[in-house]
Structure 1
Amino acid sequence: MLRNILSVGGYTLISRITGFVRDIALAAVLGAGATMDAFSVALRLPNHFRAIFGEGAVNQAYVPTYAQIAEKEGPEAASLFADRLFTVQLIVQVVLLALALPLMPWLVRLLAPGFSADPAVFELAVALTRITFPYLLFVTMVTFLGATLNAVERYAAFAAAPILLNVFIVAALAVPFLFPSAAHAAAWGVAISGVAQWIVLYVAARRAGVSSKLVRPRADAGVRRFLKMFGPAVIGSAGVQISIFADTIIASLLPRGGYAALYYAERLYQLPLGLIAIAVGTVALSAMSRAIAKGDDAAANRAQNRAIAISLVASAPFVAAFVAVPELMVAGLFQRGAFDAQASAAAGAVLFAYALGLPAIVMIRAQVSAFQARGDTTTPMLIALAAIACNLALKLLLWRDWGAPGLAHATAAGAWVNLLTLFVLARRRGWTEPDRRLPGFAAIVCAAAAICGLLAWWGKPLALQLTATLPFEPLLMTVLLVSGVAAIVYAVLAGGLLKATGLLRLLR
């Protein structure tokens, strides 16, 4: 399991690094003003639908069903099940695209009503979103093929595919003279990357012998089981997206740059989500689904405990950095060109708020696997909707006085409500059995992370002095110096104490 997590996490790390290069390029070229706000909406709209109908719901309903069919009926039956679902999903996506393109002004007005007050920004957002929306069609097929590969323990291609999104956006920004504007260039980079990702996943799936083909749809027992799980999974995934929709809508009502502050802070806090939560959640769900299909609940519990331990130890240093020196993290990565110190301060305040919910957000994927692996997508759906209700209430309460950071604080609170409720219900049903060593493990990790954060906060002024005279990117060098020293201290403290107490075995 750890090897698979490292494989997914390794490719995701490359994806996040190229993502930072992409965001650095976007910050330098588009800045943090109205143009970036318009492009952010154009990128977010297809991603909302992808998260609802693609990677969220498909993984939650598809992987356990595929594992059950493969275990009980054999690989040929599982392949036929995959082909039928692929056909249905492709038809749905083509219809959605045909409806969305002519209705794009209404969709943008729904997503970002504040843009209507500025016709130029509104028109740009509509034009860019029409370019990026076909990305949804291809990336949904990518997600489906990736879910099939995950179900047969082939994780690398799906984890590597998002790298192409970043590469094509940066490549397009390098030749903006070929497009009406740099924003149009970035939008076309998004669209073309969808085609490239689909080609990569199709080749990988074909090599693994699980490439899907078009067949006549038929509602057999497997498809009906999937659809029964898929409905609640869609609603549950939509619940998370409702929160993000709310951020988008409210941020469009903030002064210009509020949306960009959310975007850049989100890019940083998404790093541990991609490296840890997605990697751990993907592997944990597959491992638990296979164990439960064989009737081995003990193995499923071991997989979940290992996933939680890995999530804790890997996410703690990110939380420490984002709480201790959030503005420095933003400035070092993005403050250049059109992105100034004021933009760094705004995004840093949002990043601090997101960090308070990061431990919960990271562990939700491992906790929800206890339900999904048993075919229960309804309970996580109901819990997610309750958490979103709390989240939305706090957003409406905080946004006027707290601005963009208020939206992030509400997101953090909703994540904790979601995680704790999942744990309580899973415990009552006997679907989760926390290892008795986990509290001690968590205490050591938290203590090491706290020391790491204090060191970063205390060492920041000294690091700024040491790098001030450097001829190249002094702020970036400061981030690398502070985070590098703090990471070494964290690794030595956490690793040494966990090994000395015998708790390091939880990770194996």
Structure 2
Amino acid sequence: MTSLVKSVGTIGGLTLVSRIFGFARDMLLARVLGAGLAADAFQLAFTLPNTFRRLFAEGAFSVAFVPMYSRALHKAESEGGGEEAAAKFADDVLSVFLWVLLAFSGLMMIAMPGIVWILARDFQEVPGKFDLAVLLSRLTFPYLALVSLVAMLSGLLNARSRFAPGAFAPVLLNIVLIGGILTGAWLRGPGHDDRIVAIALAVSVSLAGVAQLTYLIWSVRRAGLRLHWRLPRFTPEVKKLGLLILPATFGAGIYQISQFVDTFFATSLPQGSLTLLKLADRLNQMPLGIVGIALGTAILPMLSRHIHSGDAAEAQRLQGNAFEMATLLTLPAAAALAICAPAFTAAFFVGGKFTAADGAIMANIVVALVAGLPAYVIVKILNPGFFAREDMRTPVWTALASLIINIAINLYVVERYGIVGLAAATAVSASINCLLLYTVLHRRGWFHFTTKLAGKIARQIVAVAAMSALLWWMMPRLAPYYGAGVFDRIWSLGALVAAGGAAFFAAAFLVGALDKDLLAMLTRRRAKVSAPEQE
């Protein structure tokens, strides 16, 4: 567990920094653009490259590339492995991957009016909204090719347990986007043309991709690795990677595919609905990114090594530890976000062009989204159990089943409950996907709940209940301060966070929900962070 905790600490810590900058970005964006025409158009434009990034680059490509590269790297030279074989594989993949990215990006930009029409045909009912969405989408889409190369370079480093550069790259994205918002607000001037802000922000998305790629190239060279571009060659290994990517695209990306489904339905609702959904998801993404991405990224190369060495017991132990860590962090986060959603939305987002009415709707969306937070994270732990064994088919079928259920629920609830019903459907479908994945893993003997793990989770739930009772009591008593002055907002939220955290960990300690060995490792982790991991 020491290695897992160390890796998760590195990734999670830097992801936390990224999420804080992302949160600041969205707070600023809400105040500058509000939830109107330009905001909706930008959210759609930003969703396109980001969803493809998570689906292909950080999803399908990473889960297929990292195990193959890691296996080539750690295999003995006499068996055709080692540094030279791994470098050759990486060069061959890059030579094909680069041209595929360029071709795909070019075709998507040419076809952008049709893509926007498919996802947001109702934008045509608002004068200027559809054309602005097409323009912004073309400006943001080059980011996909740039960040996909970033994902590949991060994979090279992750296979060597150097997680810091890949985890830090999103920080650069958010810093550049904050600069784009401020630049756009300055250029907008007294005319109050929100389209100027949206265009400046869209341009900054692609500029952020350039910054991230430059940083990863530097990090890879610093690690002593060299990549060479050559004419594309479809070697047997590259072909095998391609065959693995196709099903992994679906299996690893149910959450991302659901984003397209949610976008389609959200654009049919009143103006501002898409923006409110995306801003609410930022609160949901805080723990999801910090815990889910960290665990998923760290567990895959480790799990691959245990499986290919035939150590089933270590593979079971690793997934069990990851599961316990996931629930320890996501159960209290989900409960706290659900109870305190009105406070967070009022304190962080309401102001400028973002009204109190927008904040009230957003709070309800947050409650619906975080109901699926534990499932979103656990899926990222269960999927590597298949990917590490190069079984890409099973996640395809479970993802397909949950996606069909998601669409069916949306067809029923969106008309009746609007954007809140849409968010709830996403949570339900993710939970179903999680249950299906675990069922298959259990039946195949690849992973199963132990009595010890079940007992730990039961104790965690008791601690969450104690925390929830306290927060429920505090919320109405501090209500006048959430939307007041800056100082009142800070201290009232600080009181909620401090009291909730103290209540949870005190109760968890009393009922035995905290693993003493895990706490000791986390403490050592904080005390012994090495210089390279502080990048």
Q: Displacement, 1:496?
A: 4.0
What SS class does the counterpart of residue 254 from structure 1 fall into? Answer: coil
Distance 1:354 1:74 in 2: 45
Within-5 A mapping of 1:382-397: 382-397=397-412
TM-score norm. by structure 2 comes to 0.91
Give the counterpart of 1:90 among 89, 98, 112.
98
Q: Displacement, 1:481?
A: 1.7
Alignment CA distance shift 1:429-1:190 (3 Å): same
Distance 1:379 1:131 in 2: 36
Q: Displacement, 1:346?
A: 0.8
Give the counterpart of 2:166 among 127, 133, 158.
158
Range 265-274 or range 165-174, more displaced: 165-174
- Deviation by residue 1:194-241 (Cα, 9 ceiling, x = unmatched): 000001111111112334321233333422332231111023245443
- Amino acid across the alignment from 2:297: T
What SS class does the counterpart of residue 320 from structure 1 fall into? Answer: helix
- Deviation by residue 1:136-172 (Cα, 9 ceiling, x = unmatched): 1101101111111111111001001001111111112
- Amino acid across the alignment from 1:348: A
Give the counterpart of 1:42 among 34, 45, 51.
45
Range 4-13 or range 97-106, more displaced: 97-106
Distance 1:469 1:25 in 2: 16
Within-5 A mapping of 1:441-480: 441-465=456-480, 467=481, 471-480=485-494
Alignment CA distance shift 1:186-1:458 (3 Å): same
Distance 2:116 2:490 in 1: 35
Within-5 A mapping of 1:28-177: 28-72=31-75, 73-176=81-184, 177=186
Range 210-219 or range 57-66, more displaced: 210-219
Give the counterpart of 2:227 among 209, 212, 227.
212
Question: Unaligned stretches of 5+ in structure 1?
Answer: none
2:302 aligns with 287
1:224 aligns with 239
- Amino acid across the alignment from 2:502: I
- Deviation by residue 1:29-84 (Cα, 9 ceiling, x = unmatched): 01012211111001001112212221100121111111221222112111111111
Alignment CA distance shift 1:366-1:239 (3 Å): closer
What SS class does the counterpart of residue 403 from structure 1 fall into? Answer: helix
The answer to whether the 8 Å contact 1:357/1:412 transfers is yes
Alignment CA distance shift 1:296-1:469 (3 Å): closer
- Amino acid across the alignment from 1:54: A
The answer to whether the 8 Å contact 2:139/2:203 transfers is yes
1:352 aligns with 367
The answer to whether the 8 Å contact 1:57/1:237 transfers is yes
Distance 1:32 1:287 in 2: 43
What SS class does the counterpart of residue 430 from structure 1 fall into? Answer: coil
- Deviation by residue 1:420-460 (Cα, 9 ceiling, x = unmatched): 11111111111113333111110111111122122112101
- Amino acid across the alignment from 1:395: N
- Amino acid across the alignment from 2:345: V
What SS class does the counterpart of residue 372 from structure 2 fall into? Answer: helix
Alignment CA distance shift 1:261-1:178 (3 Å): closer
- Amino acid across the alignment from 2:370: A
The answer to whether the 8 Å contact 2:365/2:420 transfers is yes
Aligned-CA RMSD value? 1.8
- Amino acid across the alignment from 1:431: W
Distance 1:22 1:469 in 2: 19
The answer to whether the 8 Å contact 1:304/1:366 transfers is yes
- Amino acid across the alignment from 1:498: G
1:404 aligns with 419
What SS class does the counterpart of residue 161 from structure 1 fall into? Answer: helix
2:347 aligns with 332
What SS class does the counterpart of residue 209 from structure 1 fall into? Answer: coil
Alignment CA distance shift 1:347-1:476 (3 Å): farther
Question: Unaligned stretches of 5+ in structure 2?
Answer: 76-80, 189-194, 522-535
The answer to whether the 8 Å contact 1:58/1:147 transfers is no
Give the counterpart of 1:5 among 5, 8, 29.
8
The answer to whether the 8 Å contact 1:29/1:338 transfers is yes
Alignment CA distance shift 1:290-1:469 (3 Å): closer
Alignment CA distance shift 1:471-1:327 (3 Å): closer
The answer to whether the 8 Å contact 1:261/1:347 transfers is yes
- Amino acid across the alignment from 1:55: E
Distance 1:182 1:408 in 2: 28
Distance 2:346 2:226 in 1: 44
Alignment CA distance shift 1:99-1:406 (3 Å): same
Q: Displacement, 1:86?
A: 1.5
The answer to whether the 8 Å contact 2:347/2:482 transfers is no
Distance 1:196 1:498 in 2: 46
Range 95-104 or range 132-141, more displaced: 95-104
Give the counterpart of 2:504 among 490, 494, 499.
490
The answer to whether the 8 Å contact 1:323/1:453 transfers is no
Distance 1:99 1:33 in 2: 29
TM-score norm. by structure 1 comes to 0.95
The answer to whether the 8 Å contact 1:495/1:504 transfers is no
The answer to whether the 8 Å contact 1:60/1:377 transfers is no
The answer to whether the 8 Å contact 1:357/1:411 transfers is yes
The answer to whether the 8 Å contact 2:346/2:482 transfers is no
What SS class does the counterpart of residue 152 from structure 1 fall into? Answer: coil
- Amino acid across the alignment from 1:272: P
Give the counterpart of 2:386 among 349, 362, 371.
371
Distance 2:26 2:433 in 1: 30
